[in-house]
Amino acid sequence: MKELTITIPIKAWGNDELNNNDASLIAKAREATSRAYVPYSKFHVGAAILLDNGEIITGANQENAAYPSGTCAERTACYYAHATYPDAAFDTIAIAATGTDGKEVEYPIPPCGACRQALVEYEKLAGHPVRVLLAGRDVVYELPSVKSLLPLTFDSF
């Protein structure tokens, strides 16, 4: 028997320490939270994806009376991005959230498992790591890749 350990490198930035590009991508994710349609959870999530053609695509969670039919912000954004620019590789995704109190969450919200699985496929298509920025009120976590959030990845293709 061998014991394997997986570690995830996370950089924790203060909002005032970010470079301009990352700060503006996060600002777009924060703005996108206002376009969430969340009558059921009242939890607004926004995502902004920087593509290698320089375009930034945003998405927000969209809920539905038939609850499982709703979509998270990350999948709204990644499907919209690839449906709009199928030849552009993802470079970075930023994710932000506003809690039910109407304020930005104190600590970053990591993407759910289904979104990690969706995003990792676009990372594979990109052929290089896609950075992940998770924004909170006082701290931003930077992960080097989607795969770092989904280390034992199912990949059938």
Q: Which residues of 63-100 are buried (b: 16+ CB within 10 A; e: fewer)?
A: beeeeeebbbbbbbbbeebbeebeebbbbbbbbbbbee
When asked if residue 22 is in the footprint of ligand THU (CB under 6 A), the reply is no
Q: Please give the residues from 57 up to 76 whose contact with ligand THU meets the rule CB under 6 A.
A: 61, 63, 70, 72-74
- Binding window for ligand THU (CB under 6 A); candidates: 13-21, 86-94, 107-115, 124-132: 107-115
The one among 43, 79, 80, 85 contacting ligand THU by CB under 6 A: 43
Query: CA Rg, the chain, in Å?
Result: 15
**Bridge partner residues of 47 (DSSP):** 59, 95
Residues interacting with ligand THU, by CB under 6 A?
A: 38, 41, 43, 45, 61, 63, 70, 72-74, 111-112, 115
